[in-house]
Amino acid sequence: MSNIVKGTMLLTSATFLSKFLGMIYVIPFNALVGETGGTLFQFAYTPYNILISISTIGVPLAVSKFVSKYNALGDYETGMRMFKAGMMLMAATGFIAFLTLFFSAGFLGEQMITNEEAGSITAADVAMVIRMVSVALLIIPSMSIVRGFFQGHESMGPTAVSQVVEQIVRIGFILIAAFVIKVVLDGSTTIAVGFSTFAAFIGALASCVVLWVYWRRRKNHLYTQIHQQRYTYDLSMKSLFVELFRYAGPFVLVGVATPLYQLVDQFTFERAMTAIGKRDLFEIANAGINFYGHKLVIIPVTIATGLSLAIIPALTKTFTQNNRLLMNQQINQALQIVLVLVVPAVAGLSILSNVAYGSLYGMDNIHITGTLLGWYAPAGLLFALFTVTSSILQGINEQRFAIVSLAGGLLVKVLFNIQMIHMFGAKGVIFSTLLAVGTAVALNLWRIRTAIQFPFRQTFKRFLLIGIFTGIMCMAIWGVKAVSGTFLAYETSRASAILVLITGVGIGAGIYLWFSYRSTLLERVLGNRVKVLDRLFQK
């Protein structure tokens, strides 16, 4: 269990830092390009993220599982052969993905923007930024497989460090490019966003340098393991790829889940808002939900992301060894870590949505964007649960069912998105996403239970306890807002919103941590690491 928690904490910390930086940079980015620039940026990144998942065809995480399996059997050579073959495959698919996205940019722009007169974004603008970001597809698939190889050796450091370096370099380039173009050269928002999307390529180059350094340091040790092994399965190249793709297929769909939901929005949101006579709100609402708001909602999901990456090799090893008791403990811990950390986070964000959005992005249109964020916040828990339950399915060799659950969720999104927008306006996009992801999560949980007769009793009991503590926390936050509202204009003043946000988060988190610590909930879920709280909550 210690390897899971250690790997989880390392990857979670790195992913959280990356996501935190990804949230922080949009504050100056928003000041430079506004809601229009945010929507345009998101228009480029959604198809790009989908092509990233398709071009890697799930191979990096599948390699992680593949290498972990054969390492557990003492066959290090087979994992190395798979790694080398996968590198060549990723170079080819990355190049094909680049060509596909670059030359389809014009078509995508025309499909996403159907009414140019009512807004400031044109189809040509969308096409340009998509072409700028497409260059990153040339190197990211190959870079990702190196991360997967290290993770298969239960070494999370290379992934963690390269991920943070990639984000720092990317964000630095985004802000410098946007500032120079908008402020120094007085250029257009479209050009500024275009160069900002090109930052994905610059960040990926920095990550490649970090991974190369790690490879140079560990290469001798890796080859020593191969030379010392006594037996190899000596699988043919065909057998290697057959087994790899059996693992890999579902990883594609799991990794592309969120971008697919957003792609549905990009093809339907503008059309539906035009149909109900609210096209003028589209750019504000889309940026508030799918770009700026999503940056806040996704932060709790980083817990699940780090957990899912760390649990696959360990759970695969346990499943391969047929250790049912340890496997049940690992699954319980995975689910409960998500619940104990993400449930209070999304509840607090929902209550503090107006002051959170206003503090970070300014008070303009806060009555629209803040309200939308409040409705969208619970999606963070569902995204987190989908990520982890899909990873559990992959760990217990039920990865094919992840295709079924995602397809079911996506079908719900497609069927209900336009109808929800017609009924509820911009909030309809959020409601259809909640319904879609909730469907996928329910299907995953059902499959985990039926496939290995997994008992959810312990997780459910602790979820009830988490719900009680979260309810107490929410009442305290509501009290903070009510008291603050008597002397602070936090709905119109950014400074007041920041003060209420800090106070609400501090008091709410303190109350939740106190109850969770004193009840031993945190210790039972996270282990002895919570002893660091002894100094805060002395018994």
Rounded CA separation 90/60 (Å): 9
Identify the CA nearest to 329 among candidates 461, 154, 455: 455
Mean pLDDT of all residues in 83-101: 90
Mean pLDDT of all residues in 261-279: 91
**DSSP letter string, 219-288:** HHHHHHHHHH-S------HHHHHHHHHHHHHHHHHHHTHHHHHHHHHHHHHHHHHHHTT-GGGHHHHHII
pLDDT confidence of 1, banded at 50, 70, 90? very low
Identify the CA nearest to 265 among candidates 420, 106, 122: 420
pLDDT confidence of 534, banded at 50, 70, 90? low
Task: For residue range 140-155, list pLDDT tens digits in order.
Answer: 988 988 888 888 877 7
State the CB neighbour count (10 A cutoff) for residue 53: 20
Half-sphere exposure of 175 (CA within 13 A, CB side): 16
Lowest mean pLDDT among 317-321, 405-409, 507-511: 317-321
Mean confidence (pLDDT) of the chain: 86
Mean pLDDT of all residues in 262-281: 91
pLDDT for position 304: 61
* Contact yes or no for 352/501 (Cβ under 8 A): yes
The number of residues in the chain equals 539
Identify the CA nearest to 263 among candidates 23, 128, 429, 386: 429
Q: Give me the amino acid identity at 415.
A: L
**208 CB contacts (<8 Å, ≥6 apart)?**
139, 143
More confident residue, 118 or 452: 452
Lowest mean pLDDT among 212-216, 319-323, 401-405: 319-323
* Contact yes or no for 111/127 (Cβ under 8 A): no
The beta-strand segments (E) located in 339-486 are none
pLDDT for position 113: 87
**185 CB contacts (<8 Å, ≥6 apart)?**
none
Question: Would the pLDDT of 379 be above 70?
Answer: yes
Element (H, E) at 375: helix 366-376
Rounded CA separation 133/307 (Å): 28
Mean pLDDT of all residues in 454-478: 94
pLDDT for position 76: 81
Lowest mean pLDDT among 96-100, 117-121, 444-448: 117-121
* Contact yes or no for 165/213 (Cβ under 8 A): no
Task: For residue range 303-314, list pLDDT tens digits in order.
Answer: 666 655 566 667
The tokens describing 120, both together, are: 């400031």
pLDDT confidence of 377, banded at 50, 70, 90? very high
* Domain range annotation of the chain: 1-248, 250-458
| Eight-class DSSP state of 534 | G
pLDDT confidence of 97, banded at 50, 70, 90? very high
Q: Give me the amino acid identity at 81.
A: R
Q: Is 425 left (phi over 0), alpha (psi -120 to 50) or beta?
A: left
Question: Would the pLDDT of 361 be above 50?
Answer: yes
Q: Percentage of the chain with pLDDT > 90?
A: 47
Note the maximum CA span of the chain: 75
Task: For residue range 30-57, list pLDDT tens digits in order.
Answer: 999 988 899 999 999 999 988 887 777 6
Mean pLDDT of all residues in 58-70: 76
Rounded CA separation 201/306 (Å): 23
pLDDT for position 73: 77
**74 CB contacts (<8 Å, ≥6 apart)?**
229, 230, 231
Q: Percentage of the chain with pLDDT > 70?
A: 91
**530 CB contacts (<8 Å, ≥6 apart)?**
517, 522, 523
Question: Would the pLDDT of 415 be above 70?
Answer: yes
Task: For residue range 221-242, list pLDDT tens digits in order.
Answer: 777 877 777 667 777 777 777 7
* Dihedral angle sign, alpha carbons of residues 241, 242, 247, 251: positive
Identify the CA nearest to 195 among candidates 183, 184, 180: 180
Q: Is 229 left (phi over 0), alpha (psi -120 to 50) or beta?
A: beta
pTM: 0.81
Which class for 528: exposed (0-12), middle (13-18), buried (19 or more C-beta within 10 A)? exposed
Question: Would the pLDDT of 26 be above 60?
Answer: yes
Match 């460090």 to its residue by tokens.
161
Which class for 326: exposed (0-12), middle (13-18), buried (19 or more C-beta within 10 A)? middle
Rounded CA separation 141/54 (Å): 10
**25 CB contacts (<8 Å, ≥6 apart)?**
171, 174, 175
Match 């087994």 to its residue by tokens.
243
Q: What is the CA radius of gyration of the chain?
A: 23
Angle at 506 between CA 503 and CA 512, to 5 degrees: 135
pLDDT for position 528: 65
Task: For residue range 480-527, list pLDDT tens digits in order.
Answer: 999 998 888 888 899 999 999 999 999 999 999 999 988 888 888 877
Rounded CA separation 319/311 (Å): 12
Cα-to-chain-centroid distance, residue 124: 29
* Contact yes or no for 13/96 (Cβ under 8 A): no
Task: For residue range 152-183, list pLDDT tens digits in order.
Answer: 877 788 888 899 999 999 999 999 999 999 99
Mean pLDDT of all residues in 2-25: 72
Rounded CA separation 439/282 (Å): 27
* Contact yes or no for 374/350 (Cβ under 8 A): yes
pLDDT for position 252: 64
The tokens describing 12, both together, are: 């979670």
pLDDT confidence of 462, banded at 50, 70, 90? very high
